[in-house]
Amino acid sequence: MHVPDGFINAPVSAVAGVVAAGAVAVSLRGARKELGGASRSAASGGERTAPLAGLVAAFIFAVQMLNFPVGAGTSGHLLGGALAAILVGPYTGVLCISVVLLMQGILFADGGLTALGVNITVMGVVTTVVAYVLFRGLTGILPRTRRSATVSAFIAALVSVPAAACAFTLIYAVGGTTDIPIGKVLTAMVGVHVLIGIGEAVITALTVGAVIAVRPDLVHGARSLAAPLKLRIDGELVDAPVTAPAPAPVAARSTRTVWSVGLVTAFVLAGFVSFYASASPDGLEKVAADKGIDAKAEEHAAADSPLADYGVRDVTDTRLSGGLAGVIGVGATVAVGSGVFWVVRRRRQDEPADARATETV
């Protein structure tokens, strides 16, 4: 759903940019609490969130390269807002998606630069807020189990995608550069993005469920779930009785293994699996072409980038070109994302103790 330059007029794009900048500013402040620092209690989760936030951004970048078919001549890809919010928190999640969109726009000419504010607002803020609010609401009324958390993640991700489609339609209704009946745009956008939402929900639920299964303490939205102690009885692993002594706190356990496995997975997805992604236009591109929304689309300002369209210039082998571009993108995203989150976390550590106490009141 990367909005190109020219779909939305300059005044509305500028307003969206201000909204996105405000959301990022608020998220930077909120992320300072989510990421925490050495001075905070390990129970807050900040010690574990900080090193994983950059990885989450890189993983989302990689999975967004994997377009999947959703209908005749139409594909979809992960938006990632729900996944980021559930794994590392809503504020940090907005920053993750913003980093991904910035890398895609500057390096790969994917999503207009003048439309960056629109994209952050639609793909980052709306998806993250809608998904996290719904996820927390569902986990608050469902049994506090891993299955409930996974189901909640599925539903939250599913709803977040058509919500983003509605947000784009609203922005288009105000500042669209073509005169298309808004009812037709809304029907088409929501219709195709409900299907894309199913794919988003599956990816999000599988990822969240996999992390919860091994390290529930690393899932921001499910830290209340404690991994049951396992006992080996007659050669089989079974859950220990609830009266058994609690396992050692997981806060001190290293995230290095999870981080390494996640990064390798992102590299493999972007560098190899992406070659097999659907080449059909995604939901927004298809609707834009069918309805005439793209009549005044403009060439991307970074169209001459050596990595434009997710290929490396002068590398003639398509598979190699796309794979190298994906690997470079993952590396750049994890580097920039980790740098941003490290700075945010350091600022939290450097705050006076009384200022931190005031924030938590």
pLDDT tens-digit profile of 114-132? Answer: 999 999 999 999 999 999 9
Q: Which domains does the chain have, with CATH numbers?
A: 10-360 (1.10.1760.20)
pLDDT at 361: 41
Question: What confidence category does residue 205 fall into, taking pLDDT thresholds of 50, 70 and 90?
Answer: very high
pLDDT at 337: 94
| Tokens coding 350 | 């450097």
What sections of the chain are H helices per DSSP? Answer: 10-35, 46-64, 81-88, 90-108, 116-119, 127-141, 146-175, 182-214, 256-271, 283-291, 318-350, 353-360
Three-state DSSP at 332 gives helix
- Size of the chain, expressed as the number of residues it contains: 361
Closest CA to 93 of 46, 27, 164: 27
How much of the chain exceeds pLDDT 90, in percent?
74
CA distances from 44 to 12, 49, 294, 311, 314 (A): 39, 9, 46, 41, 48
pLDDT at 50: 64
First to last CA, the chain: 39
Instruction: Report how far residue 48's alpha carbon sits from residue 211's, in angstroms, rounded to the nearest whole number.
Output: 13
Instruction: Report how far residue 83's alpha carbon sits from residue 331's, in angstroms, rounded to the nearest whole number.
Output: 20
| Tokens coding 329 | 């993108």
Across all residues in the chain, what is the average pLDDT? 87
- Mean pLDDT for 246-273 is 78
Is 240 a residue whose pLDDT tops 80? Answer: no
User: Which positions ≥6 away from 114 have C-beta within 8 Å?
Assistant: 5, 10, 13, 301
- Mean pLDDT for 271-276 is 96
